[in-house]
């Protein structure tokens, strides 16, 4: 080696540095990650009942999972939590995009946590999430203040499946949240379609957030949504929008008078507020608690929850029958064939359906 020209002290050319021993390929400080042992359903339930939100989150993930082994665990956890659930006030919140739902939920949440000593879970049902594969509703970044609150649990809309499936998961998540000690549950949805009915079927109070618009706002609202509402609140009653908001509120009040008295016996109230400037928020909650007292006294509160339980029983049956049918491997294959035959008018849709159902019930 020493007779190599590089080792000659006179040598002025490029030299090769002496190497260092090459480090091990694997970082020695990285210990093999302990594989997390899966909790048993009893352990999940125990942690949830202790208010452990990390475990609550994991259980909600199981509820949302499509995998049947996850579903099996989830159902057991739910069953164990059920006796400890039901003690919250469940509030549905809807309004068109831009109505101020996230701003308001942020403001409502800070008020409930700060002034009413509540623990709040914010859930969502977003019908569009199936297509976009990612829901914005219930997103933490939209609710900056409450997302930093330890007394608030935020969970975006489950993203996969039919509206019925998504709604069922949200309803089951309500149970887990209640078992974890959350005494107020918001279920947010966009006021644009079927999802309000789903939300209405799982809450005690349905709040409709409206905007004062151009004076023809009443034409824009679907009668169905207004009929479902237990309270209508006109947002953005601030600055030079106050008068318009008051006018809109008066119009909603008049419109509501034309509807028959709802089965709750409660005449829906209309109020104005500003979610952004946090004006009128205590009044909204006084109204909601007044409604709860009123319906608890006249029995409607329990009646509504019982009807909802019955509704969800049938919904679950429907959903599971459907899943079982579509997930059966024979049907999966046959579906493609029959679909093609129907498209080529080789067989009518009714006959095709009957053939597949006959086969399903025979196996």
CA separation for the pair 359, 69 (Å, rounded): 26
| Of 122, 152, 144, the residue nearest 276 (C-alpha) | 144
CA neighbor of 229 nearest in space, from 288, 178, 180, 315: 288
Residue 209: CB minimum distance to ligand GDP, A: 7
Least distance from ligand GDP to the Cβ atom of residue 192, Å: 11
- Of residues 46 and 238, the one with the C-beta less far from ligand GDP: 238
Measured from the CB atom, is 78 or 249 closer to ligand GDP? 249
Kindly state the smallest distance separating residue 311's Cβ from ligand GDP, in Å: 27
Sign of the C-alpha dihedral, residues 136, 137, 138, 144?
positive
DSSP 279: B
Q: Are 190 and 126 in contact (CB under 8 A)?
A: yes
Residues that bind ligand GDP (CB under 6 A): 95, 97-103, 235-236, 238, 274-276
Q: Is the CB of 192 or the CB of 226 nearer to ligand GDP?
A: 192
Q: Which is nearer to ligand GDP, 99 or 284 (CB)?
A: 99
Tracing tokens 């997390």 back to the chain, one arrives at 36
CA–CA separation, 309 and 307 (whole Å): 5
How far is CA 151 from each of CA 182, 264, 359, rounded to the nearest angstrom?
A: 8, 31, 52
Least distance CB 103 / ligand GDP (angstroms): 3
Give the integer Cα–Cα distance in Å for 221 and 232.
12
> Shortest Cβ distance from residue 237 to ligand GDP (Å)?
7
The residues, any chain, with a CB within 8 Å of residue 209's CB and separated by 6 or more, are 93, 94, 95, 99, 100, 101, 104, 191, 233, 235
CA distances from 67 to 70, 77, 223, 331 (A): 5, 15, 39, 19
Nearer to ligand GDP, 274 or 308 (CB): 274
Nearer to ligand GDP, 125 or 175 (CB): 125
> Least separation, in Å, of the C-beta of 222 and ligand GDP?
17
Q: Which is nearer to ligand GDP, 180 or 211 (CB)?
A: 211
The torsion region of residue 336 among left (phi > 0), alpha (psi -120 to 50) and beta comes to: alpha
Minimum CB separation from ligand GDP for residue 136, in Å?
Answer: 8
Of 225 and 352, nearer to ligand GDP (C-beta) is 225
Could you tell me the smallest distance in angstroms from the CB atom of residue 144 to ligand GDP?
11
Pairs from 341-348 (Cβ < 8 Å, separation ≥ 24): none
Minimum CB distance to ligand GDP smaller for 210 or for 295: 210
Give the length of the chain. 363
| CA gap 77, 55 in Å, rounded | 11
Min separation Cβ 107 and ligand GDP, Å: 8
Cβ–Cβ < 8 Å for 245, 212: yes
């Amino acid at each position: 080696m020493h007779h190599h020209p590089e080792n000659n002290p006179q040598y002025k050319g490029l030299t090769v540095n002496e190497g260092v021993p090459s480090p091990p390929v694997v970082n020695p400080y990285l210990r093999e990650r302990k594989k997390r042992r899966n909790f048993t359903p009893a352990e999940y339930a125990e942690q949830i009942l202790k208010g452990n939100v990390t475990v609550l989150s994991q259980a909600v993930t199981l509820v949302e999972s499509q995998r049947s082994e996850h579903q099996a665990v989830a159902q057991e956890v739910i069953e164990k939590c059920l006796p400890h659930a039901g003690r919250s006030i469940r509030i549905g919140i809807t309004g068109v995009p831009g109505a101020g739902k996230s701003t308001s939920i942020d403001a409502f949440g800070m008020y409930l946590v700060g002034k009413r000593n509540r623990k709040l879970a914010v859930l969502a049902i977003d019908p569009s999430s199936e297509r976009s594969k990612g829901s914005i509703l219930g997103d933490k970044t939209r609710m900056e203040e409450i997302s930093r609150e330890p007394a608030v649990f935020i969970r975006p809309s489950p993203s996969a499946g039919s509206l019925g499936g998504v709604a069922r998961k949200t309803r089951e998540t309500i149970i887990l949240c209640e078992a974890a000690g959350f005494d107020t549950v918001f279920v947010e949805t966009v006021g644009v379609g079927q999802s309000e009915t789903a939300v209405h079927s799982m809450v005690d109070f349905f709040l409709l957030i409206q905007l004062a618009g151009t004076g023809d706002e009443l034409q824009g609202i679907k009668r169905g949504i207004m009929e479902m509402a237990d309270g209508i609140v006109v947002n953005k009653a601030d600055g030079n929008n106050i008068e318009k908001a008051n006018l809109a509120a008066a119009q909603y009040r008049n419109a509501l008078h034309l509807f028959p008295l709802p089965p709750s016996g409660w005449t829906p109230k209309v109020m104005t507020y500003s979610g952004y400037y946090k004006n009128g928020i205590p009044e909204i909650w006084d109204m909601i608690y007044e409604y709860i007292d009123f319906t608890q006294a006249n029995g409607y509160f329990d009646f509504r929850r019982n009807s909802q339980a019955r509704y969800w029983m049938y919904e679950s049956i429907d959903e599971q029958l459907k899943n079982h049918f579509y997930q059966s491997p024979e049907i999966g294959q046959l579906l493609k064939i029959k679909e093609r035959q129907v498209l080529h008018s080789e067989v009518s849709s009714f006959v095709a359906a009957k053939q597949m159902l006959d086969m399903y019930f025979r196996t």
